[in-house]
Structure 1
Amino acid sequence: MHDALPSCFGEYGVQVVDTSAGSNKVTQNLVTCLYQTKLAVPSDSFFVAVVSDGEVVLLLGDMYSEAYKKTKARPASIEAILVSRSEHVFGKKYHSTKAQFEEGGKAHDIVIECQISPSSEPRMYIRVDREIVVQVKRLAWKFRGNQTIIVDGNPVEVFWDVHNWLFNPRVGHAVFMFQTCLSSDKPWLKEVAACSSVLQWPGTYSFKDKETSGPSGFSLVLYAWKND
């Protein structure tokens, strides 16, 4: 098996052996765990801290002093970086959110507008800070697709799957993914292209390899539900 990468959602990883050309190299395990919880009042006056070996490796919220006092731990030598986010958004014609595509960068307004009417051809627009960056006119034929846009001078790959909006509106939702491009060859794009639906897309390939020196990437997945 060549260029094998395990994708595990759960508590245990697996080892994959690359046997191509007589190789006996064992790749490093990769485990991804996703948790969902509810914080008391979705914005301020709280903290969530993860401590490992006496270091606060992850700190969320705004009560920094209280977090270090309660945990009796020191700040991490390397700050945690947000590599992916998924969000459910609701709307009738417009679906909006905010996204920061690079660490310490500007938070951008993202608005998805979908025009579906029996009297006209369906269309879709995606705006970043009020500027149209994606325009799909023949949406009935292009309900799945992708396009590269430029944000903060950097390429961002945008994928969409609005099949449910057009053909199954009562029970389904559309899915959008914004993925920063880490390199010109975009090896993760081959995995996405092989999937028939956004629902099968890999979560993210933006984890930074410890042997590389490139910047970490970021992926935003939006599940867009239409209100009646």
Structure 2
Amino acid sequence: MNRQFVLSQILIIPLLLFLYISLFAPNTVYATELPSFPFCSNPQGEIKVSYDSGTHGVVGSQTQYQGKDTVYFVGENNYLQCLCTDQGEGIQTGWLKLGNLSNNEIDELRNEGWQYVPDGTLWGLAGGDYLAKNSPYSCNGEGGNTTPTLTPTPTSSTISSTSGDPGIGGSVIAASAPLLAATGTSTLFYSLLAFGLASFGLGLVLRKKDKIN
């Protein structure tokens, strides 16, 4: 009787686990690897535009900053914006061209603090939509005496499309292509399946021995 009880438990447990995974586990979990943007403290890339002074904007902020602003092209239609204010506040913004990112990957990045920008041309970039993220860095706050120029500060908006213009070319100095990896529950699924088959085989062996005894 005890052996029959053990046999039933061996067969039922993997079945319950399999049903739980099938019904409640997500189908796919996306992990998006970003290109390695350089740091504004040691900028690399091709300078697209540079202002020694002026009034500049930062994505997601309505504040207008006075200081030096330089934008670097870092390959794959991605850009690095380095703003150094006259007060010594440094703000670097990574501009990631959406390209072939899926909506799930875009949502994941937005949850990590990236902001959607529907038109890069408003910021002097290549056409198309981008994700942008700000982070602080240390700078000297050195400005110049040139005529101020205004960088627009459009607000973020809801995603409506992930398509865009091909953008502009240029020499790539420091960039790495975005790599997209999708990791799901397949490993766990096959592990449970193998465990279930092994348990089923063990159950048959125990049942056969029980009949012999």
Please give the range of the TM-score, normalised by the shorter of the 2 chains. Answer: under 0.3
Which structure's residues are more often helix, by fraction? 2
Task: With the length of structure 2 as denominator, give the TM-score of the two structures.
Answer: 0.24
Task: State which structure, 1 or 2, has the greater radius of gyration over its C-alpha atoms.
Answer: 2
**Relative contact order, CA 8 A, sep 6+: which one is greater?**
2
